[in-house]
Structure 1
Amino acid sequence: MSCTPLEEIPKVYEGLKAAFRSGKTKSVAFRKAQLSQLLYLLDDNVGRFQQALHADLGRPFKEAQLLEINGTLLQLQGAHDNVEAWASPQRAPFSLLWYPMSPITRKEPKGVVLIIGPFNYPVYLILCPLAAAIAAGNTVLLKPSELSMATATLLTELIPQYLDPDVVRVVNGAIPETTKILELPFDHILYTGNGRVGRVVSTAAAQHLTPVTLELGGKCPCVIDPKCDLKTAAKRIMWGKLANGGQICLCPDYVIVPAHFQDAVVEALVAAYKELHPVDPRESGEVTRMVNKRHAERIKKLVDTTRGTIVIGGEVDTETLYAAPTIVRDVGPKDSLMSEELFGPVLPIVPVSDVDEAIAFIGERDHPLCLYIFSNDAAFKTKVIDNTLSGTVAINDTLLQIGAPTPFGGVGASGHGGYQSGKYAFETFTHMRPVTDSPNWLDSALMGARYTPYDESSFRQLNAVLHARLPPRNAASLGYFGCMAAEISCSLNWYRRFWSNRPNGSA
């Protein structure tokens, strides 16, 4: 992969800006055609993307197909199939006061947007937001991660072949190129990665008052209820932990469990691991490698300095980038494994006294991107959800929630904004532009009373219309039927006041 010359980057931006100003992306038909091409870009080259992902991450071909390529195609298809509906103007809910002004909300593109992708899912986390940005009518500058070089090189080759080069451009490089990019006044920036770089992106964006969407991950806890289906829970946790070698922002980061139940959980997790990997993953090649030596060395240091007890695994080969799937029990709150997001195939188990201590433990840390709960008890689930805060919540499974047709994003240190799912992704790159149209006859009806010098009787009538209908003062003590009766009384009083204030002789 060759880096984009620094002096070319402003020219790329100006070309995208000129294309947006030309108006070509305003056409929904044009957007749909580009989305169709984006679908074929991926579908025509599945094998090449599998090879690139294997070169970048040592990812098995089947895992690449199952966990990245298929999910990406589904998101691209959703954007293609729904772009007309998403882009259509939306009428405001009916209101007698505002109906004459015909209020609507137009879905306008923001302009030139920047998408900075991560190394861990270099197809899904580039092409899905790209599809949303195209559906919204923007022009797009893509900055793939320099750590996934093979995938970035393939995208750089294919995008101009399938998409309008005036509308989508790729810039490659590392810190110097990214720094140069961030000097430019984009209309929206989406960054997926870590909090340290997220702060750099936010600071640069603030210089131009550019809105930013951040997806930053964090330490996602798994709260275990002893009443759960432990065998199923253990299998799903181990699958989610080891997918992509643990290099997913949504991976279960640690398990938190009542101390008296820790032995049972450890036994179930070990059994689940052996079921998933009857052959050593180092030999079978069924666990993705660390992306580079620096990340492998980081994982090795965290494992080597843990004060917990290593149950299985613990080996990290920094030359071959292989980190063995590892389970560590009796991990304390100040352990090395709790010092940062692990982003590797290491699963610490934190024993606590009960669910209340688990909730307190989670609350003392940054808000995670996802909270996992394994329980068959409705009261247990509700208690954990009601007393914690996270970007998303997944109950009795891992990772799959990212594909659900709901908003997806973090909160606090795990990021803000959502962009990975359907209409919510489209809205991330869309300016909701309200439009009203006041007819001339409105002044001869009621709104003429706003002008000075005020006519006293007309002003009283307009003031009565604009006066809020207040709820009863003692609503909490009235009960449901009492509140209904009070609401009816308030409405009647409002209408009496309106009619009593209308000018003499008016209809």
Structure 2
Amino acid sequence: MSKLEYTPVEDVPRIHEELLRGFRSGKTKSIAYRKEQLLHLAYLIHDNKQRFREALHADLGRPYDETDFLEFSPTIGEIMDAHDGVEKWAKTERTAFNSSWFPMSPAVRKEPKGLVLIIAPFNYPLLLLLGPLGSAIAAGCAAVVKPSELVPQTSALLAELLPKYLDQDLYRLVNGAVPETTKLLELPWDHILYTGNGRVAKIVSAAAAKHLTPVTLELGGKSPVVIDPNCDVQTAARRILWGKYANAGQICIAPDYILCPRGFQDTFVAAVQRAYNEFFPAEPPSPDNMSRMITQAHAERVKKLIEGTRGTIVFGGQADIAERFVAPTLVRDVPGDDSLMSEEIFGPVLPIVPVRDVDEAIEFINSREHALSVYVFSQDSKFKAKVFNNTQSGAAVANDVSIGLRVHDAPFGGIGPSGSGSTTCKYGFLTFTHLRTTFDNPNWMDKLLMRRRYPPYATNGIKMLVNTTTPRLPPRPGSASAQRKWRVWLILVVIGLLTRLGWRAPALLK
């Protein structure tokens, strides 16, 4: 195993300066160069899968198969999306035709923002670090990536491998904890992407504000699941159970709590119990089937949430702090002000909050901060639409959980306390891209209307220019003229249809 060595704090400004110089060399303007670096990044994972499996098992206790599914597949997929799409994404786009502007050939250039900082969390140390790095490379940016110090084996391995695969003139890794991150945040960046919790997000945002640096925040929150009694309950139970206990529940889009009709709670609990018995036949779940909490402190925090609940524990509830283990736990009849509802659980504990109906579920969701995802399990399109149309969240997902980060060609991001901005696919590319408007006004335009903008206004006919370039408003809604206009159009349409059918207009209309 590799040993994690922190980057010397005094080296951080030098790294920043060297990367800025590398960016200004113009090397990243080449699409071929970007695609080459993206391919190297994909091979960084591909060539070292077993070493990453071992590192993630040491850091998170994560089973190898879970790493293959949760880290390798989506990370390589996101990088290759960027590799395959960057040529199209980076093309200059012409604006829509406009009679006043088309002679000037207005267009939108896709230019890299510059030198960017990417700060990743512990729970997905490959996907949430290398995925955004791929987006930054595709956009033509230089980048510093900062992995979490809570996954020392994985971060050490990344520090070893990154210089072997990527151009060190443009892409560097900084390892460390609070002092190193603080030094990074003191420097001016052209964009910062932070994935983590709201408390640190406020620190990042405050530091960025000193340099007017734009920030993308990928946070989390308490993502609710609304249960329709007419859902496929066994499929719902299996999917929710997997989504909650994968990676020991340490997933920003994991289902945090269930809103279930009171009369359906027994049926739903029985379905989850059956799924649990199938998933985890051994007690406690073996390390081959379930990850561990990232630290003893995190395990202790979740243990205290369980101990404080006023709900009824259906199964689980055990914790071994020394082993960073919290058993998969289902708690029913949880009140809205319970300990399990006081914060994002970020652990393998699933509370069920009984509600009267879907209206009370919607009211409950809207009384709390916007979540990263709202989940619904239902076969009824009206039921799903009612929940989605009357709530706000980063994503709205029906009949599955915890897989929204990898939806092809769709943005991933939160709203309000759950985050701001978007990542993944072309939306990650756009996060690190400056949309630069360009146009070229030919001299002969002054021989037409444009010369009228010059003083003296009174004699140069600027009113004619204003009238020509200002769009005409339609009649005010509800006004008599608007109603007459629609009546005239309706009459003309009817006459046109009748004429097509062979009707002859009376002489009065001719």
Picking from 182, 197, 202, the partner of 1:199 is: 202
Distance 1:300 1:451 in 2: 73
CA displacement at 1:457 relative to structure 2: 8.0
**Aligned residues: percent identity?**
55
Distance of aligned partners of 1:447 and 1:241 in 2 relative to their CA distance in 1, 3 Å threshold: same
Instruction: Find the aligned partners of 2:25 and 2:484 in 1 and give their Cα distance.
Output: 59
Output the CA distance in 2 between the equivalents of 1:480 and 1:245: 62
Cα separation, 2, equivalents of 1:205 and 1:118: 18
Give the corresponding residue for 1:503.
none
Match of 1:19 among 5, 11, 22: 22
Q: Structure 1: state its 5+ residue gaps.
A: 490-507
Q: State whether residues 62 and 287 of structure 2, in contact with CA within 8 Å, keep that contact through their aligned partners in structure 1.
A: no
Residue 237, structure 1, aligned to residue 232, structure 2: no
Match of 2:133 among 127, 130, 133: 130
Give yes or no for the alignment of 1:2 onto 2:11: no
Name the SS of the counterpart of 1:291 in structure 2: coil
Distance 1:272 1:472, change over 3 A: farther
In structure 1, what is the Cα distance between the partners aligned to 2:400 and 2:171? 36
The one-letter code of the counterpart of 1:395 is A
> Cα gap change, 1:313/1:481 in structure 2, threshold over 3 Å: closer, same or farther?
farther
Return the alpha-carbon distance in structure 2 between the equivalents of residues 138 and 309 of structure 1: 52
CA distance in 2, matches of 1:365, 1:88: 42
> Is the CA contact (8 Å cut-off) linking 2:413 and 2:422 kept in structure 1?
yes
The amino acid that maps onto 2:345 is L
Matching residue of 1:47: 50
Mapped contact 2:228–2:377 kept (Cα < 8 A): yes
Question: Using a 3 Å threshold, how does the CA distance of structure 1 residues 264 and 90 change in structure 2: closer, same or farther?
Answer: same
Any idea what SS the aligned residue of 1:391 has?
strand
Over 3 Å counting, the alpha-carbon distance change for 1:483 and 1:376 in structure 2 is farther
Is the CA contact 2:452–2:461 (under 8 Å) kept in the aligned structure 1?
A: yes
Paired position in structure 2 for 1:497: none
Separation in structure 2 between the aligned mates of residue 481 and residue 43 of structure 1, nearest angstrom: 68
CA pair 148-482 structure 1, distance change in 2 beyond 3 A:
farther
Instruction: Say whether residues 1:407 and 2:399 are aligned partners.
Output: no
One-letter identity of the residue aligned with 1:344: G
Once the two structures are superposed, residues 323-367 of structure 1 have per-residue CA deviations (whole angstroms, 9 ceiling, x without a partner) of 100000010111000000000000000001111111111111110
C-alpha distance in 2, partners of 1:332/1:315?
21
Mapping of residues 246-395 of structure 1, within 5 Å: 246-280=249-283, 282-283=285-286, 285-395=288-398
**Residue 25 (structure 1) shift:** 1.3
Which amino acid in 2 is paired with 1:256? L
The farther-off stretch of 221-230 and 276-285 is: 276-285
Q: Deviations over 1:259-294 (max 9, x none)?
A: 111111111111111222233353353011001101
1:179 is aligned with what amino acid? T
* Cα deviations by residue, 1:473-501 (Å, 9 ceiling, x for unpaired): 23599999965967999xxxxxxxxxxxx
Q: Indicate conservation of the 8 Å contact 2:118/2:192, yes or no.
A: yes
Q: TM-score, normalised by structure 1?
A: 0.93
CA gap of 1:59–1:147, structure 2 versus 1, over 3 A, is same
Quote the offset at 1:459 in angstroms. Answer: 3.5
Q: Contact conserved, 1:222 with 1:373, CA < 8 A, in 2? A: yes
Point out where structure 2 has 5 or more consecutive residues left out of the alignment. 493-510
Q: Structure 1's 338 and 451: CA in aligned 2 closer, same or farther, altered over 3 A? A: same
Distance change >3 Å, CA 228–CA 11, structure 1 → 2: same
- Return the alpha-carbon distance in structure 1 between the equivalents of residues 479 and 116 of structure 2: 48
Q: Pick from 109, 113, 120: which aligns with 2:116?
A: 113
Secondary structure of 2:457's counterpart equals: coil
Tell me the CA shift for residue 461 of structure 1.
3.4
Contact 2:248–2:347 (CA under 8 A) maintained in structure 1? yes
> Does structure 1 residue 178 correspond to structure 2 residue 181?
yes
Task: Name the CA shift for 1:402/1:481 in 2 (closer, same or farther; >3 Å).
Answer: farther
Aligned to 1:442: 445
CA separation in 2, counterparts of 1:235 and 1:4?
A: 43
In structure 2, how many angstroms separate the alpha carbons of the residues matched to 1:455 and 1:331?
74
Tell me the residue number matched to 1:60.
Answer: 63
Take 1:152 and 1:456, find their aligned partners in 2: how far apart are those partners?
A: 71
Distance 1:283 1:401 in 2: 27
How far 1:467 moved relative to its partner? 2.4
1:463 corresponds to 2:453: no
1:75 and 1:336, CA in 2 relative to 1: closer, same or farther beyond 3 A? same
User: CA–CA distance in 2 between the matches of 1:211 and 1:137?
Assistant: 17
2:503 aligned residue: none
Q: Which shifted more, 366-375 or 402-411?
A: 402-411
Q: Which residue of 1 aligns with 2:506?
A: none
- Give the partner amino acid of 1:414: S
1:224 aligns with one of 224, 227, 230: 227
Q: Distance in 2 between matches of 1:212 and 1:453?
A: 45
Partner of 1:417: 421
Other-structure match for 2:217: 214
- Tell me by how many angstroms 1:472 deviates: 2.5
Deviations 1:195-234, CA, capped at 9 Å, x for gaps: 0000010011011110000011000000001111111111
Q: When the two structures are aligned, how many residues end up with a matched partner?
A: 488
Aligned to 1:79: 82
Q: CA deviation at 1:449?
A: 1.4
Letter in 1 for 2:176: G
CA distance in 2: counterparts of 1:472 and 1:277, whole angstroms: 67
